[in-house]
Structure 1
Amino acid sequence: MDLSIVVPLYNEAENVRAVCDEIRAALDPENCRYEILLIDDGSQDGSWDVMRELAGEDSRIRLIRFRRNFGQTAAMAAGFDHARGKVIVPMDGDLQNDPRDISRLVARLKEGYDVVSGWRKKRQDKALSRRLPSVIANRLISRMTGVVLHDYGCTLKAYRREVLDGVNLYGELHRFVPALASQIGARVTEIEVNHRPRNAGVSKYGIDRTLRVILDLLTVRFLLGYATRPLQLFGKWGLLAILLGGVSGLTTLYMKLFEGLNLNRNPLLILTAFLLFSGVQFIALGLLGELVTRTYYEGQGKPVYTIRSKVNFED
């Protein structure tokens, strides 16, 4: 299989047939072997019935149905796990992504990239509730992850299969896949893609999703910088707290010996105790993190490195 198109769906009965028709119209002339994976994320509007009709008409359309609504990240993870293509392209099921851009994304992969992200430069969404929060979030994510993209939130992307094999998704991490892939050495780029207004169905996005993205960004920042060395993060804060506690303690002692100030009247004594205690806790937390990291990697036999290619090695 050359190409897998992964389409998460939640209450998109009005759009799912048109999505599949447009994908087939875009890819049939390309003379490639492809499949369409439709992931029903607990829809309650009859989406599954339409999906079953489509699968009965075309064996290239494969279906996965969740028992309940688990969210877009879980739906995309299921699609990635069951995809058979060498290249995997997720896209939204609301017809706002243009399937004609798929071949352009795949063509860019052939230039040596591992991830090609879509950029909805002319985004057809509400400015205040969707576009403005997206601009702020994209700049924040780019700054914190070091992978600069204009549009992390665009679902339409193209991935080489081997890149996704090393990425585990949960929470709202599907939008951070390019940053997570860069952790294992993937080469990431982006191209402008067409974006269309929604003509049917109801948007599932709200301001609460932006807040969840910000929280997941903290997780991604930790994974990118300290996943294999948590003591480096917590230890430096612990040492800093102990250093400041030492300075505070010496100041307290100086004020007692040379200025005659009673210790029980000096607030620096409380600050000293607080800093020293916090420093010990930070270091202890870092050591516990090291133990968890060792258990995670050694228990699963998971390497702390990834290899792009080998020469003169047997399988």
Structure 2
Amino acid sequence: MSVWTTAQSSPAAQRKNKYTPESTAHPAKMLPEVVRHAVTHYTRPGELVLDPMCGIGTTLVEAVRLGRRAVGVEYEPHWVKVARANLDVAREQDVGGEKGIDARVFHGDARQLVTLLPPEYVGQVALVVTSPPYGPSTHGQVSVAPGEGVQKYHHLYGNTLDRGNLANIGHHRLLAGFTRILAALRTFLKPGGHIAITIRPWREHAELIDLPSKILACGRAAGLIPVERNVALLARAAETDLVARGSFFQRDFIRKQREAGLPLHLIAHEDVLVFRTALNRQSSRELRRSQRELRPRRRSVSHVDARVAVEDEAVAA
């Protein structure tokens, strides 16, 4: 486990001049420095990076700016256009030199990854960096108008009636769908390739959902080997403390929750779960041994592991 100091500069400063104005509207943008840290530590120049739920294309943009190739998949057509526009910004800034920028964005459902991506990507990916849609209480922007109070906007993924969007279903079905995505990623990862997932807990009807532990169970159910559980700071590390960078909405949300009796604090970090594939196609014994060694002792997490596997089988059927 390690701590990534990924918020020494503000999110706006990290994205300045690298992303289109339309990118601001996405409800859950990944912090660019988190991607840069993962890409730098788990890949070499020229290797391929994948994000199966790429949103505005942060993973792709930061990967190519570090000299890696990139491919992404996005469910919502609007964000596909925005991701491609952000890659165009990189092209206009001559990222990649004479050879140009090697990055593509595909429109589709990541649960159908095996049929969605071309065969040329099979076994070629060195690193996946992604994050599932989650936590409406942590997303969004706000405006304040006289007499209207605080109005929230840009906090939803697409049409809320679209049940094919993982963001619009309960967290149990989200976990089952995400397990399918993780299992499909094994087709495209190199032996020993890594998957870095940024995630944090959230509250659903006042209940705390320990999403990092549940995603850990999803990875195991998908046949991946958990190797690290890191902390990516969302606050600036000063000499003696952390300086929170919470948005106006997040601060307003915390204030309201405290008034309701929940002693919450601004989020200062998110978990980065790192998995890898087996080192070769025949190392199933290593996989089973690693899973036994890393399996949590708490019954609740083991129960989640079994439940996710059952739900994934039901969805696949």
Provide TM-score, normalisation by structure 1. Answer: 0.32
Structure with the greater alpha carbon radius of gyration = 1
Provide TM-score, normalisation by structure 2. Answer: 0.32
Greater RCO structure (CA 8 Å; 6+ sep)? 2
- Structure with the bigger percentage of strand: 2
